[in-house]
Amino acid sequence: MYLFRKDLEQLKAPEISVPKAERMMCLNESCVNPLEIVSADFDEIMQRAPQNRYQADVSGELRQALADYAGVDAAQILFGNGADDLIYHLFVAVREDANSFATALAPSYFDYKTFAREVGLQTRFVNLDREFGFDLDEYISLAREANCKLAILCNPNNPTGNLLDMNDLRHIIRSIPDKPILVDETYFEYSKVSLVKELGEFPNLIIIRSFSKAFAAAGLRFGYVVSSAENILQLRKVQTTFHTSLLVQAFALAILRNRESFLKIVSQTIAIRDELYHWLIGVEGIRVKNSSTNFLTFSLGEQSSELFNYLITQGIALRDVGAHPVLKDHLRVTISCMEDVEAFKIALVKFLG
């Protein structure tokens, strides 16, 4: 006897399918341990956020700190257990029935499809071209269909690393005024490009961000949404009442208190990324894509798979992102820290002989 939703029976449970290695340059994580930066503030905040209570003042402080950082009112902020959790609940909020779908680009963040499937929301895609552009008219036409309940744009895009044209983004949002538009700004601190200041012009715009990348807190599982106060109110209706632990909230607030230290590390990471990009350009056989994130996507042609496996033997794990034809034979390397990047360069030179 099967007890659950019929479509779940055919799905696989989510799992992390990346290799384990000494240098994990596959998940866009940082080498920095954020606790070393925030410990004093974290300890102080935790004294006011007792874990035997459901509620504490830290929640309001955190919401206001996020609002100040984003440059919006506190009523325009919703936080949760990572950007993934918030994307999942946004999908819950927009799904009407089994015919509902979200429109997205491909290749883009693979878990859009995962989370949509988990809530019974379909996904339909517009493919990027070889230069990572796409047909705006095709995208808009698909998003305008009656059963489309959400349009998604990842900017900068993962796994390609490129920024979408801001005028194109504005055109899309204006062209689909009656549908929510999710702009994923998970890598905002690396790109320095955001639509937050244009929320007043676009009431259908929903922006999502994360503490996993720039704030070196992938394991914290903390993210936030910025949108109109009305949109935030509606999204709150699909969250559980006590959705984010006080411990996580205290840590996130401590990070924001020390954000200048993290943003300095972001600047250093960008410099390392740009240096590696120019170095890879000079390596014979390598084709590398410029990036506005903390990773670079590159190809060694038919040797990419062999290189991927060789690097594992050298204690270095990259991400194979070649599933989509646009990125066939491409790998993604995280700019995690200088030590990892230097080890990667040495191993690549060894592989090339």
Tell me the H-state helices in 71-186: 82-94, 111-118, 136-144, 166-175
Quote the CA–CA distance of 221 and 215 in Å, as a whole number.
11
| pLDDT band per the 50, 70, 90 thresholds, residue 12 | confident
Quote the CA–CA distance of 206 and 152 in Å, as a whole number.
10
pLDDT over 90 at 296, yes or no? yes
| pLDDT band per the 50, 70, 90 thresholds, residue 16 | confident
| pLDDT band per the 50, 70, 90 thresholds, residue 122 | very high
Dihedrals φ, ψ of 111, to 5°?
-80, -5
| pLDDT band per the 50, 70, 90 thresholds, residue 107 | very high
Percent of the chain exceeding pLDDT 70 equals 100
For residues 22 and 16, which has the higher predicted lDDT (pLDDT)?
Answer: 22
Angle at which helices 166-175 and 136-144 cross, to 10° = 30
Mean pLDDT of 244-252: 98
The third-level CATH classification (topology) of the domain covering 37-257 is Aspartate Aminotransferase; domain 2 (3.40.640)
Quote the CA–CA distance of 156 and 188 in Å, as a whole number.
7
For 177-250, list the strands marked E by DSSP: 181-184, 205-210, 223-226
Mean pLDDT of 213-219: 98
| pLDDT band per the 50, 70, 90 thresholds, residue 7 | confident
Quote the CA–CA distance of 46 and 67 in Å, as a whole number.
21
Dihedrals φ, ψ of 151, to 5°?
-115, 135
Mean pLDDT of 47-62: 96
Cα separation values, 191 from 61, 187, 318, Å: 27, 6, 22
| CB atoms near residue 143 (< 10 Å) | 23
Task: Give the model's pLDDT for residue 168.
Answer: 97
Instruction: Name the helix (H) or strand (E) containing 188.
Output: helix 188-191
Mean pLDDT of 85-110: 97
Cα separation values, 298 from 133, 236, 263, 267, 287, Å: 17, 40, 26, 22, 5
Task: Give the model's pLDDT for residue 1.
Answer: 82
pLDDT over 90 at 2, yes or no? no
Lowest mean pLDDT among 4-8, 35-39, 250-254, 297-301: 4-8
Percent of the chain exceeding pLDDT 90 equals 94
Quote the CA–CA distance of 118 and 102 in Å, as a whole number.
13
Residues of the chain with CATH 3.90.1150.10: 16-32+260-352
Residues of the chain with CATH 3.40.640.10: 37-257
Which among 50, 67, 51 is positioned nearest to 253, based on CA atoms?
Answer: 67
Angle at which helices 82-94 and 111-118 cross, to 10° = 50
Task: Give the model's pLDDT for residue 51.
Answer: 94
HEC per residue, 236-280: HCCCCCCCCCHHHHHHHHHHHHCHHHHHHHHHHHHHHHHHHHHHH
Omega of the bond leading into 177 within 30 degrees of 0 (cis) = no
| pLDDT band per the 50, 70, 90 thresholds, residue 17 | confident
Enter the DSSP assignment of 195. Answer: S
Mean pLDDT of 5-20: 85
Mean pLDDT of 182-190: 98
Q: Which amino acid is at 94?
A: V
Quote the CA–CA distance of 300 and 296 in Å, as a whole number.
13
| pLDDT band per the 50, 70, 90 thresholds, residue 18 | confident
Dihedrals φ, ψ of 270, to 5°?
-60, -40
Residues paired with 78 in a beta bridge: 225
Instruction: Choose the CATH number for 16-32+260-352 among 3.30.565.10, 3.90.190.20, 3.90.1150.10, 3.30.300.30.
Output: 3.90.1150.10
pLDDT over 90 at 179, yes or no? yes
Tens digit of each residue's pLDDT (9 = 90 or more) over 250-281: 999 999 999 999 999 999 999 999 999 999 99
Mean pLDDT of 94-106: 97
Tens digit of each residue's pLDDT (9 = 90 or more) over 125-171: 999 999 999 999 999 999 999 999 999 999 999 999 999 999 999 99
Cα separation values, 313 from 1, 13, 27, 33, 170, Å: 46, 29, 18, 25, 46
Mean pLDDT of 194-198: 98
Task: Give the model's pLDDT for residue 15.
Answer: 80
The answer for residues whose C-beta is within 8 angstroms of residue 9's C-beta and 6 or more apart is 2
Tens digit of each residue's pLDDT (9 = 90 or more) over 324-340: 999 999 999 999 999 99
Task: Give the model's pLDDT for residue 11.
Answer: 85
